[in-house]
Amino acid sequence: MVANPTELITSDKNTTVKLVKGLLTQARQRKKQGQTVIEGVHLIDAALRSDYPFVQILVSEAAQHHPEVQQILTRLPTYTPILTLSDALYESIRSLGTGIDIMALINIPAPRLAAISNDCLILNDVQDNGNVGTLLRTAAAVGIHNILCTSSTAQAWSPKTLRAGMGAQFALTIYEHLSVQDILDYVQTPLFATSSHTDTMIYQHDLKQPIAWIMGHEGQGVCDELMQCATPIALPQPNGQESLNVAIAGSLCLYETLRQREYT
Amino acid sequence: MVANPTELITSDKNTTVKLVKGLLTQARQRKKQGQTVIEGVHLIDAALRSDYPFVQILVSEAAQHHPEVQQILTRLPTYTPILTLSDALYESIRSLGTGIDIMALINIPAPRLAAISNDCLILNDVQDNGNVGTLLRTAAAVGIHNILCTSSTAQAWSPKTLRAGMGAQFALTIYEHLSVQDILDYVQTPLFATSSHTDTMIYQHDLKQPIAWIMGHEGQGVCDELMQCATPIALPQPNGQESLNVAIAGSLCLYETLRQREYT
């Protein structure tokens, strides 16, 4: 049974509309409310495939009869509230460009950190939403589930990070707002980090044991406290260019780990 | 000798200011003029290290005495024209956020395509400027010089691509606006492309001979005409997620090529 959109909202004074607009535009609001908004058919489909619950669905009047929206509405639990917004109002709040106008308000998961003794990826103040999202996407592809983010890392559940992650967030357990001390206290797996201060190439390391890969800030790299506890590894750059983009470096590390385990 | 900034420009009617503003904001203008603008100390430094000539330097009044700007002005050929813009005017045209306000107008190189018989990277309608820039950055890091872009690929010399490339453009020979037929006519190196229609993993291929790696459109992948002439390879995704970001996939291919040649 398709849940039935009930009322048509036209006013930007509507409480849910105001909330959603704030969550789409302000990191502070997302952190304060513990909620975010996922936009577009693709992300909503990824959430549905992971049985992730929605607080609220919002569709534009024009989109509500679109076959892909109808297909999504059919798959929703029947108790999911659906708001229909006038096209002009929807357009005034969406952060995506043109597409199929559907979005969902969701609660951001807040898993409680416990001891980690298997593979994980630590994002140590990675600043750029695109880099965080791309790293999450690669982690999900290679099957790493635990992601630990220190407090200055870009939000894993911001609209931009969700877009770059293509829904990988729903396949992962993401711990956010951690201190460096949290990492040191809870991660029992050996730490590895890329460094320009070593000549030992990644290919010369045995990566078959569980590993906690640390990726750092785009400008400053991994912080000293974590670097001191980590095995430094180098990625070759025969042409002597500057360091690689952090999402590239991280993905190379995760894939070299996979290669050594599965393809040697 | 430090070249001397001569006049202070305050009007947005100034011909150079109008040209620069157009080049920073309009892909069409860049293509029509064959020129672009590089912003910030970092990119200008990368251009200087490659002895790349500037048509014109623009600085803001506040930035002209900044030590890093002074250091750049010292390194310029003395015939390089320098315009000083009022701070308000500079701010009204720059596409970067706050930083050290210096930019340079340059001609976009237009190398003539000839037969390619060594390693190269083919960008077959890659849409996103960030992906193109990141791929250029990785290509420069591993020492691949020749980049071939088909006509719908994002501009390699746009402000966004330059930023993502971190100046890698100046270390590469980039052929743009090519047809698929140009690629087939001039590339004499075996073509390789990632594909979801093969089970043969990249690690099972011998990548020691010269290779032309093709990276395709973010949504549609490599076009049929090129795919038909290419060896398809798979990147493992044990967790069965969707395909990787194209800049990640491309970088994994370039680094696996490097690994097989230098670290086995």
What secondary structure, in 3-state letters, does chain A show? Answer: CCCCCCCEECCCCCHHHHHHHHHHHCHHHHHHHCEEEEECHHHHHHHHHCCCCCCEEEEECCHHHCHHHHHHHHHCCCCCCEEEECHHHHHHHCCCCCCCCEEEEEECCCCCCCCECCCEEEEECCCCHHHHHHHHHHHHHHCCCEEEEECCCCCCCCHHHHHHHCCHHHHCEEEEEECHHHHHHHECCCEEEECCCCCCEHHHCCCCCCCEEEEEECCCECCHHHHHCEEEEECCCCCCCCCCCHHHHHHHHHHHHHHHHHCC
B213 pLDDT above the threshold of 80: yes
Write the single-letter amino acid at B156.
Answer: A
pLDDT attached to residue A1: 41
The alpha-carbon gap from A17 to the nearest alpha carbon of chain B, in Å, equals 30
Whether CATH 3.40.1280.10 fits B120-262: yes
Pairwise CB contact (< 8 Å): B166 & A137: no
Residues B5-19 have a mean pLDDT of: 89
Sheet holding B35-39, edge to edge: B8-9, B82-85, B56-60, B102-107, B35-39
DSSP readout, B185-220? HHB-SPEEEE-TT---BGGGS---S--EEEEEBTTT
pLDDT of residue A69: 96
**Residues of chain B with a CB closer than 8 angstroms to some CB in chain A:** 130, 134, 137-138, 140-143, 164, 166-168, 171, 201, 203-204, 235-239, 241-242, 244-245, 247-248, 251-252, 255-256, 258-259, 262-263
From chain A, which residues contact B within 8 Å (Cβ)? 130, 134, 137-138, 140-143, 164, 166, 168, 171, 201, 203-204, 235-239, 241-242, 244-245, 247-248, 251-252, 255-256, 258-259, 262-263
Tens of pLDDT, residues B214-225: 999 999 999 999
pLDDT 10s digits, A236-256: 998 875 679 999 999 999 999
One DSSP character per residue, B107-122 reads EPP-PPP--B-S-EEE
Q: Nearest CA of chain A to the CA of B138: how many Å?
A: 7
pLDDT for A93 equals 95
| A241: chain B residues, CB-CB within 8 Å | 137, 140-141, 168, 171
Residue A7 pLDDT: 76
Q: Which two tokens stand for residue B210?
A: 């010269």
pLDDT above 70: percentage of residues in chain B? 97
Contacts of B187 (CB under 8 A, 6+ apart): B116, B120, B122, B148, B212
CA B228, chain centre distance (Å):
27
- B244–A138 CB contact, under 8 Å: yes
pLDDT above 50 (res B192)? yes
What pLDDT is attached to residue A238? 86
Say if the Cβ atoms of A252 and B247 lie within 8 Å: no
Strand order in the sheet with B173-178: B173-178, B146-150, B120-124, B212-216, B191-194, B230-233
Pair B147, B136: CB distance under 8 Å? yes
Which residues in chain A show pLDDT less than 70? 1-6, 241-242
pLDDT at B226 over 80: yes
ipTM: 0.92
Averaged pLDDT for residues B229-256: 91
| Inter-chain CB proximity B171 and A239 less than 8 Å | yes
Sheet holding A191-194, edge to edge: A173-178, A146-150, A120-124, A212-216, A191-194, A230-233
pLDDT single digits (tens) B81-104: 999 999 999 999 999 877 899 999
Nearest-neighbour CA in chain A from B258: distance (Å): 9
pLDDT at A177: 96
pLDDT at position B242, please? 67
Provide, as residue numbers in chain A, all residues whose Cβ is less than 8 Å from the Cβ of B262: 236, 238
A258 neighbourhood in chain B, CB within 8 Å: 236, 238
CB contact under 8 A, A248 and B244: no
Sorted by where each begins, the domain ranges of chain A are 8-107, 120-262
Contacts of A263 (CB under 8 A, 6+ apart): B201, B203, B204, B236
Tell me whether residues B137 and A171 touch, CB distance under 8 A.
Answer: no
Task: Report the SS3 class of residue B226.
Answer: helix
Mean predicted confidence (pLDDT) in B1-11: 70
**Substitution target from B248, B254, B256, B260 for chain A, most A beta carbons within 10 A:** B248
SS3 label, residue B85: strand
Does B258 contact A251 at a Cβ distance shorter than 8 Å? no
Residues of chain A with C-beta less than 8 angstroms from the C-beta of B171: 239, 241
Fold observed for domain A8-107: 60s Ribosomal Protein L30; Chain: A; (3.30.1330)
Grade residue B6 by pLDDT with cuts at 50, 70 and 90. Answer: low
pLDDT(B175) > 90: yes
Work out how many CB contacts closer than 8 A connect A with B.
Answer: 96
Residues in chain B within 8 Å Cβ distance of A164: 245
